[in-house]
Amino acid sequence: MNVKSKNNENYKNKKCKNKGKISIISLLEDERANFSIIIAGLMLIGFLILSIAVLNMAIDKTDENIQAISSDEFQYVMKDYMRNIPILEREALEELGDEVMENKYPSQDSKADLKELIDEKLSLKAEEYWENYNIHINSSLVSIENTSNPFSYKFNTYISSVKGDYSFERVLSSDLDCIGLRDPIPLLYCKGHYGLSYNDTCYSYGNSLSELLKRKGVENYSLYVNASSPLIIRKCPFDPYAHHGDDNGKIMKNCRDNGYYHESRDGACYLCRLEGKCGCEHYGFETFINPQRTNETGLVSACGSDHVIFSDDVYPGVEVIYNNESDVSDLNGQMPYEILYLDPHGHKVKYGMSDF
């Protein structure tokens, strides 16, 4: 029994001693854990401070970049917008021409109609730029001027824009021509007479033009039955015009085959043609109406320049036979020469056809 109780006491003492050891170890372990937490916390704070510093630097850098890009971008965007203007204006010119051709009705004021079409296009384009670049652009057509080149007009367009510290203001002048556009004059003048048609390149009048000339009391109006004339406005390259009669009239034949137009004080400019005028106060242009070929000679009919034929004051032209290759007709019965009716002292001289 004594032995047993001694053993028990020893066991208890050992147990107490061990208990003390364990609490010191766990205390040490706790302190180590706390230390780790503090270190980790400090590291985290350090990392956060570093991150914030780096982030701030990056933000500053980005701000600088935004400023730099904005300046360059603003200039680029405005230049890019201006590049579109002549394209849009040419489109408007073509659209107004198409509208006149389709409606067979002249424009009441071609410059005002163009301004409306162009301003609409400019505002749609400006909307696009607002959506893409967040830049508000103001622009509108100011004026259209005739120039010393009757096939060309000067379109003046006002453009302005402000974005932040940057601003832009300018009047852009663009030279736009009517080359390649359709001449509405024959359609506007002959639409009331049956027989007029046109394809991609020329008008065929059928009986329409001769009927129109008959109504105007023109002598030998029937020589313009089945006449033809160009549809597309193209500038004659045979300049000076006095050379049209060269080489037995081959130049004139080439010119007529291609349906060229010539500068003319009396002929209408393109914008006036859209208003249904065959002549105007501007420096304009003219083309020829090719009459029927006839075997008779020495005939007189309307002078074949378009500004004469469609005017209220038609004056006569004498028969001019040129490019006469032989006296025999070809297999289709076509006579081997060309005919125009020209006034002796005006168009015959202008085009060097006096010897025919």
Nearer to Zn ion, 255 or 289 (CB): 255
What is the closest distance, in whole angstroms, from the C-beta atom of residue 258 to Zn ion in the complex?
A: 8
What is the closest distance, in whole angstroms, from the C-beta atom of residue 163 to Zn ion in the complex?
A: 40
Q: Residue 73's closest CA among 84, 81, 62? A: 81
Which H or E run includes 291? Answer: none
CA distances from 335 to 118, 119, 200, 288 (A): 49, 53, 26, 19
81, 260, 285, 356: residue in contact with Zn ion (rule CB under 5 A): 260
Applying CB under 5 A, the span of 192-200, 213-221, 252-260, 326-334 interacting with Zn ion comes to 252-260
What is the closest distance, in whole angstroms, from the C-beta atom of residue 284 to Zn ion in the complex?
A: 6
In sequence order, what DSSP letters do the residues of 61-115 get, joined into one string? HHHHHHHHHHHHHHHHHHHHHHHHHHHHHHHHHHHHHHHHHHHT---S-HHHHHH
141, 213, 255, 278: residue in contact with Zn ion (rule CB under 5 A): 255
Nearer to Zn ion, 78 or 255 (CB): 255
Instruction: Provide the token pair at 146.
Output: 């005739």
Q: What one-character DSSP code corresponds to residue 242?
A: G
End-to-end Cα, the chain, rounded Å? 163
SS3 assignment, position 213: helix
117 binds Zn ion (CB under 5 A): no
Nearer to Zn ion, 122 or 231 (CB): 231
236 binds Zn ion (CB under 5 A): yes
What is the closest distance, in whole angstroms, from the C-beta atom of residue 172 to Zn ion in the complex?
A: 23
CA distances from 68 to 73, 78, 168, 248, 285 (A): 8, 16, 17, 69, 52
Would you call the peptide bond into 344 cis, given omega within 30 degrees of 0 as the criterion? no
Nearer to Zn ion, 282 or 347 (CB): 282
Nearer to Zn ion, 73 or 266 (CB): 266
**By CB under 5 A, what part of segment 272-301 binds Zn ion?**
272, 280, 282
Applying CB under 5 A, the span of 113-121, 207-215, 262-270, 339-347 interacting with Zn ion comes to 262-270
Nearer to Zn ion, 255 or 278 (CB): 255
93 binds Zn ion (CB under 5 A): no
Secondary structure string (H, E, C) spanning 40-51: HHHHHHHHHHHH
Q: What one-character DSSP code corresponds to residue 215?
A: H
Nearer to Zn ion, 117 or 272 (CB): 272
Applying CB under 5 A, the span of 22-30, 33-41, 265-273, 299-307 interacting with Zn ion comes to 265-273
Spatial contact of 309 and 303, defined as CB atoms under 8 Å apart: yes
Contacts with Zn ion: how many residues (CB under 5 A)?
8
Applying CB under 5 A, the span of 50-58, 198-206, 220-228, 250-258 interacting with Zn ion comes to 250-258
Spatial contact of 208 and 196, defined as CB atoms under 8 Å apart: yes
Nearer to Zn ion, 221 or 322 (CB): 322
Nearer to Zn ion, 81 or 288 (CB): 288
269 binds Zn ion (CB under 5 A): yes
What is the closest distance, in whole angstroms, from the C-beta atom of residue 150 to Zn ion in the complex?
A: 8
Nearer to Zn ion, 210 or 245 (CB): 245
Q: How far apart are CA 110 and CA 97, in angstroms?
A: 9
Question: What phi and psi, each to the nearest 5 degrees, are found at residue 160?
Answer: -145, 155
CA distances from 256 to 88, 287, 300 (A): 32, 9, 20
What is the closest distance, in whole angstroms, from the C-beta atom of residue 268 to Zn ion in the complex?
A: 5
What is the closest distance, in whole angstroms, from the C-beta atom of residue 272 to Zn ion in the complex?
A: 3
Q: Residue 266's closest CA among 309, 215, 235? A: 309
353 binds Zn ion (CB under 5 A): no
What is the closest distance, in whole angstroms, from the C-beta atom of residue 236 to Zn ion in the complex?
A: 3
What is the closest distance, in whole angstroms, from the C-beta atom of residue 199 to Zn ion in the complex?
A: 21
Residues that bind Zn ion (CB under 5 A): 236, 238, 255, 260, 269, 272, 280, 282
